[in-house]
Structure 1
Amino acid sequence: MLAVLFGVVVGSLMPVQTSVNNRLRFSVGAPLLASFISFFIGTITLIIATWMTSGTPIPNFAATSGEPWWIFTGGALGVVLLTGNILLFPRVGSVQTVILPISGQILMGLLIDAFGLFNSPQTPLSPLRIIGAMAVMLGSLAVVGVVGGRGRREASAVQSPAIWLWRALGVVMGMCSATQVAVNGRLGRILGSAVEAALISFCVGTTVLFVLLLASRTRWRGLGAGPNPWWMWLGGVLGATIIFSMALLGPIIGTGVTVVATLLGMMLASLLIDAFGLLNSTRREVRLPQIVGLLVIIAGVALIRL
Structure 2
Amino acid sequence: MLAITIAIAIGIALPMETAINSRLQTTLRSPYFASFISFLMGTVFLTILLLVTGHSLLIPAGFIAHNPWWVWFGGVLGVVYLTGNILLFPKLGGIQTVLMPILGEILMGLLIDNFGLFGGATHAITALRIIGALLMIAGIIFAVVLPERARKDSYQGTAEKDTQVPYRGLWQLLGVLFGTFAACQTSINGHLGHLLHSPIQGAYVSFIIGALLLLILVLIQQHSLRLPTGAITHNPWWIWFGGFIGAVFVLGNVYLVPIIGTGLTVVIVLFGQIVGGLVVDQFGLFSAKRNPIVPLQIVGLVVMVLGVMLIKVF
What is the aligned counterpart of 1:295 among 292, 302, 307? 302
Q: What CA deviation, in whole Å up to 9, does each residue of 1:108-158 have, x standing for no partner?
A: 000000000111111010111100000000000111133796268687522
Q: What CA deviation, in whole Å up to 9, does each residue of 1:29-59 have, x standing for no partner?
A: 1110010011111111111111222343324
Deviation at 1:74, TM superposition (A): 0.4
Structure 1 stretch 215-224 or stretch 48-57: which is displaced more? Answer: 215-224
Partner of 1:93: 93
Q: What CA deviation, in whole Å up to 9, does each residue of 1:251-302 have, x standing for no partner?
A: 1000000000100100001111111111111111211111100111111111
Superposition map of 1:1-306 within 5 A:
1-60=1-60, 62-146=62-146, 150=150, 156-159=160-163, 160-217=165-222, 219=224, 220-224=226-230, 227-306=234-313
Structure 1 stretch 148-157 or stretch 286-295: which is displaced more? Answer: 148-157
Deviation at 1:20, TM superposition (A): 0.8
Say how many residue pairs are matched: 306
Q: What CA deviation, in whole Å up to 9, does each residue of 1:88-127 have, x standing for no partner?
A: 1111100001001100100000000000011111101011
Q: Distance in 2 between matches of 1:84 and 1:149?
A: 22
Q: 1:25 to 1:161 in 2, by over 3 A?
A: closer
SS across alignment from 1:146: helix
Q: Distance in 2 between matches of 1:223 and 1:32?
A: 18
Q: Distance in 2 between matches of 1:238 and 1:148?
A: 25
Q: 1:148 to 1:224 in 2, by over 3 A?
A: closer
Unaligned runs of 5+ in 2: none
Q: What CA deviation, in whole Å up to 9, does each residue of 1:145-188 have, x standing for no partner?
A: 33796268687522345111211111111101100111011111
Contact 2:95 2:148 in 1 (8 A): no
Q: Distance in 2 between matches of 1:293 and 1:178?
A: 22
SS across alignment from 2:247: helix
Normalized against structure 1, the TM-score is what? 0.95
Contact 1:112 1:118 in 2 (8 A): yes
Q: Which amino acid aligns with 1:75?
A: G
Identical pairs, percent? 42
Q: 1:287 to 1:218 in 2, by over 3 A?
A: farther
Unaligned runs of 5+ in 1: none
Q: Distance in 1 between matches of 2:80 and 2:128?
A: 31
Q: 1:222 to 1:125 in 2, by over 3 A?
A: same
